Structure 1
Amino acid sequence: MTAPLLEVRDLGYTYRRDPALENVSFTVDRGQNLGIVGESGAGKTTLLRLLLGLTRPTTGGIDTDGVPFDAGDRAALRRHRTFAQAVFQDPYSSLDPRQNVGRIVSEPLRSLHLSTTGSETRTRVASALEAVGLPADAAERYPHEFSGGQRQRIAIARAIVPRPQLLVADEPVSALDLSTRVRIVELLSSLSIGGLTVVVVSHDLGTVAALCERTLVLERGRVVEQGPTAALLAAPEHPYTRKLLAAVPRLPRR
């Protein structure tokens, strides 16, 4: 039997005696996108940091492709950087304005020693830019020359250039206008069709519904409900999930 791409087992994290996460368990199969939703303070950011190896769990563990991952092991952490990459919320602050796009996108190749020649680096950067819908000559330009949506595409290109198996997206469209949000969600969906598995951390149920086959609901650091997205949104079982759905703005009927 094939191991899940990602398995989280009884994960917990305590901050100054206050539990931020308790007994969080779930699996992510290869090619099956997962949405993690909840209000502010639900524990989404803490869980993201644990998935990326930025923080070590207090209890429980994480397996990647059936192998236990220890963020305290430097060699394991380096391998994890090629397994999982992140895209963050704000496309303005996540890009260094002093570096051109080519330098920004190629940063993971340098830090992870994944490229041996300048020619190979340029080829991989051009391929990543093409994958997110940007021309190769964008590499010579600077972040301030691009719109918010284009900057988020640059951030996604940087995340996919090391060819990770998992992309963790933290509120990837919340800083964008509505039409740009739709295009970025479509981009993430096309990348997942191409073989990348995406975990989306969001409070936006619309984004999760459009992109993720499964959804996990966090309340105060605990999983209160999880399952297929369509079924969970159509017939939520937990009162907290129903509360989240009731809070989604709807146009008035005429």
Structure 2
Amino acid sequence: MTPVLELKDVALRHRGSAANTVEDVSLAVEAGHSLALVGESGAGKTTLLRLLLGLSRPTAGAVRFDGAELSPGDRAQMRRFRRSVQCVFQDPYSSLDPRRRVAAVVAEPLRSLGIDTRAGAAPKVAAALERVGLPADAADRYPHEFSGGQRQRIAIARATVCGPRVLLADEPVSALDVTTRVKVVDLLAELQREQGLTLVMVSHDLSVVASLCERTAVLERGRIVEQGDTAQVLGEPAHPYTRRLIESVPRLPV
């Protein structure tokens, strides 16, 4: 089966830098499956996410979408890509325009991708808000009127309103308290199951990774040191770096 997203021998060096931020990275995500990118801060996780989103171009190697190399100059391909691949960011407040009502925020992908007019978008916005468990009157309110967990639900509604095939999530629950985090993780799992979403998630929280993702890739200093089934990687890590990550997870004293 052709992966929906793939990085092949990818390297990226930022302008003015003497070394690559990521190097010799290869990974693939098949449709309907889930992958976590884990590692310490600065390991290159968000850089890989930006490459998968088409926001950065690799210095070497290729980013592929449905088997074809992603080409920012190919407008038809990029339109298909933008409709198929959406993102949920870490901070739900900074990612939502505080000057716009929730209806306009959630409808933004429908308008920017030319899928619907303002009037045509309304029922899809209502359905997206209902899917993430928000009341109908949420559409007429502003982001600051909601809690952090509710704002992240708005962000998820915006990312899924156009029916994407792939959801990329950058630390989607790290800014939330523990109880709210569990609810948002359950929501993501439900959306993935019901809509057949492909999920790629950056996370420091290995418990979230274990709950949501079938496969895990471990990054150290811009290189993948281990990848495979999440149960295997987290349960029986083969690389010393992965073992250190797992051992660093805080535990309550017995």
| 1:241 aligned partner | 242
Bigger Cα displacement from structure 2, 68-77 vs 160-169: 68-77
TM-score (norm 1): 0.96
Structure 1 position 68, deviation (Å) = 1.9
Q: How does 1:41-52 map to 2 (within 5 A)?
A: 41-52=42-53
Tell me, what secondary structure is at the counterpart of 1:172? coil
Aligned to 1:219: 220
**1: CA distance between counterparts of 2:104 and 2:84?**
21
Show the 5 A alignment for 1:6-85: 6-15=5-14, 16-85=17-86
1:112-145 Cα shifts (integer Å, max 9, x gaps): 1011461x20011011111111122211111111
Distance 1:72 1:223, change over 3 A: farther
Deviation, structure 1 residue 72:
4.2
Q: Which amino acid aligns with 2:210?
A: A
State the AA in 1 paired with 2:2.
A
> Which stretch shows the higher mean deviation, 219-228 or 13-22?
13-22
CA contact (8 A) 1:54 1:71 kept: no
Relative to structure 2, which stretch is displaced further, 29-38 or 74-83? 74-83
Q: Deviations over 1:175-208 (max 9, x none)?
A: 0000000000000000110211111111111111
- Note the 1:100-119 alignment, pairs <5 A: 100-116=101-117, 118=119
Deviates more, 1:127-136 or 1:147-156: 127-136
Equivalent residues in 2 for 1:166-205, closer than 5 Å = 166-194=166-194, 195-205=196-206
Q: Aligned equivalents of 2:64 and 2:190: distance in 1?
A: 26
Matched residue SS, 1:156? helix
Looking at structure 1, the residues matched to 72 and 43 of structure 2 have their Cα atoms a distance apart, in angstroms, of: 23
- Any idea what the Cα deviations from partners look like across 1:18-45, whole Å, max 9, x if unmatched? 2001111111111211000010110011
Partner amino acid, structure 1, of 2:161: V
Q: CA deviation at 1:87?
A: 0.5
Structure 2 residue 184 is the aligned partner of structure 1 residue 163 = no
Would you say the 8 A contact 2:11–2:23 is kept in 1?
Answer: yes
RMSD: 1.2
Map of 2:128 onto structure 1? 128
Paired AA for residue 154 in structure 2: I
**CA–CA separation in structure 1 for the residues paired with 2:84 and 2:219:** 24
Between the aligned partners of 1:79 and 1:14, the Cα distance in structure 2 is 27
Cα deviation, residue 71, structure 1: 2.9
- Extract unaligned runs of 5+ from structure 1: none
Q: Is the 8 A contact 1:34 1:212 kept in 2?
A: yes
- Would you say the 8 A contact 1:56–1:72 is kept in 2? no
Mean Cα displacement is larger for which, 70-79 or 211-220? 70-79
Structure 1 residue 66, shift from structure 2 partner: 1.8
How much does 1:17 deviate? Answer: 3.1
> Mean alpha-carbon deviation: is it higher for 128-137 or for 223-232?
128-137
Moved more, 185-194 or 127-136: 127-136
* Structure 1 stretches of 4+ moved >4 Å: none
Q: TM-score, normalised by structure 2?
A: 0.96
- Structure 2 residue runs without a partner (length 5+): none
Question: Which range is displaced more, 53-62 or 72-81?
Answer: 72-81
Q: Secondary structure at the match of 2:13?
A: strand
Q: Is the 8 A contact 2:39 2:219 kept in 1?
A: yes
Mapped contact 1:129–1:135 kept (Cα < 8 A): yes
Answer yes or no: is the 8 Å Cα contact 1:124–1:161 preserved in 2. yes
Cα distance in 2, alignment partners of residues 198 and 145 from structure 1:
29
The alignment of Structure 1 onto Structure 2 pairs a total of residues equal to 251
**AA aligned opposite 1:14:** R
Task: Read off the aligned partner of 1:28 and give its amino acid letter.
Answer: V
> Which SS does the other structure have where 1:122 is aligned?
helix
